[in-house]
Structure 1
Amino acid sequence: MSARWQRIAVQTAGEAYAAAYAERFRRLAETGADVHGEATFVAALVAPPARVLDAGCGTGRVAVRLHELGYDVVGVDVDASMVAEARAAAPHLDWRIGDLAALDLAEAFDLVVVAGNTLPLLDEGTLGAACDRLAAHTAPGGTVVAGFGLDGDHLPGDCPVTPLAEVDAAMAAAGLAGVDRWSTWTGEPFAEGGGYVVASYRRPA
């Protein structure tokens, strides 16, 4: 498990952080809040029944919604307790435990979505390896979409900032070309100096 992720998760939500995380979004949904921005964003990029990898799936919120929309989805996360919550909520879906920096699923996807500040929460020194493995699991002509905070206001706990330029460079080194960027999962244009980014990268056909 990512030491950085586990430390920050416990720091912000306690030892039962996986259940707390799942419950937080259940309560938001019950109030009528839209908790499916990432899945809606994906649906605007590729039509079902495309094959989608939810990389860093956590408790499965995004993957479950993508399945409901008709996508063939696999969820993977390094944290077994988060994956256990996902399995409990949707036992019929394909959930796997895996470290993004060493991911080897022996299959490729039309789109890989990396939400939930997954990239900044990687352990130090593993961004390049993670981007390489994300690229390896993206089909030719496919897309990787990653959303993450660029300042302390948009990151959990004391998670350090991973500059967008570092992510762009790691994706490029992995063979993924930058395509576009937005400031939110609802598609607002990105402005330099903003606190959050959703960036897309494409593997050549």
Structure 2
Amino acid sequence: MRNPTRWATDTGPEHSQWYVDRFRRLAAEGVDLAGEARLVDALVTPGSRILDAGSGTGRVGAELAARGHTVVGVDADPVLVEAARADHPGPRWLVADLAELDLPALGEEQPFDAAVLAGNVLAFVAPRTEPEVLRRLAAHLRPDGVLAVGFGTARGYPLTAFDADAVAAGLRLEHRFATWDLRPWRDDADFAVSLLRRPAS
């Protein structure tokens, strides 16, 4: 990893385990943790190949796998990836930096029908690597593949920069919402869910 992620530099040494414990507790309490997965599932055909980018503890990818999709999850934090492997066997969980993503080199040579960046992932990548993250994710999509991205609008990555970086990565914005359950976008919304597509030609 050439540059440490903000997840590593902006949080304490116990943060990753706290995050694992938090989501295990929420799952045990029956909290709905599948909102992002429901949206992505609606965007693709049954049995699609989906990349869970910044997969964390695996909650999104696991739900997509339960819905019949082939899932590969990637996260830079080995603590989170180990938790995903322990709690959600089935998908393939890999430790890798999204800014250096090269899944064919890790044995995943087929392109993906869709990718999802949930949980403010873009707010936690290494500073100034957001354009490269989007470029590498786009390169892993098949033509006409879709990328679903959600992050808080006050987390230091302006939507204007995100939109420009997406265009530079060869992606086209199709829809934007204020939540993962598709509430209408407003300019003053504090969260943005953007649906991007890699054009077919």
Structure 2 counterpart of 1:7 = 9
- The alignment's C-alpha RMSD in Å is 1.4
Structure 2 counterpart of 1:142 = 145
Pairing 1:1-205 to 2, within 5 Å after superposition: 2-10=4-12, 15-106=13-104, 107-151=110-154, 160-205=155-200
The superposition leaves residues 165-188 of structure 1 with CA deviations (integer Å, 9 ceiling, x where unpaired) of: 111111100110111011111111
Count of residue correspondences: 193
Residue 35 of structure 1: SS of its match in structure 2?
Answer: coil
Q: Could you state the TM-score of these two structures normalised by the residue count of structure 2?
A: 0.91
Q: Is the 8 A contact 2:50 2:70 kept in 1?
A: yes
Residue 73 of structure 1: SS of its match in structure 2?
Answer: strand
Q: Is the 8 A contact 2:6 2:123 kept in 1?
A: no
Deviation at 1:29, TM superposition (A): 2.6
Q: Which runs of 5+ in 1 are unaligned?
A: 152-159
CA distance in 1, matches of 2:113, 2:60: 16
Q: Is the 8 A contact 2:119 2:151 kept in 1?
A: yes
Which one-letter code corresponds to 2:135 in the other structure? D
Q: Which runs of 5+ in 2 are unaligned?
A: 105-109
Closer/same/farther in 2, CA of residues 33 and 6 from structure 1, 3 Å limit = same
Which one-letter code corresponds to 1:58 in the other structure? G
CA distance in 2, matches of 1:124, 1:18: 19
Q: Is the 8 A contact 2:176 2:192 kept in 1?
A: yes
CA distance in 2, matches of 1:55, 1:182: 20
Deviation at 1:92, TM superposition (A): 3.2
Q: Is the 8 A contact 2:51 2:112 kept in 1?
A: yes
Q: Could you state the TM-score of these two structures normalised by the residue count of structure 1?
A: 0.89
Return 43-52 or 110-119, whichever deviates more.
43-52
Moved >6 Å (runs of 4+): none
* Percent identity over paired residues: 44
Which one-letter code corresponds to 1:97 in the other structure? V
Q: Is the 8 A contact 1:54 1:73 kept in 2?
A: yes
CA distance in 1, matches of 2:183, 2:164: 23
CA distance in 1, matches of 2:179, 2:45: 20
Q: Is the 8 A contact 2:74 2:94 kept in 1?
A: yes
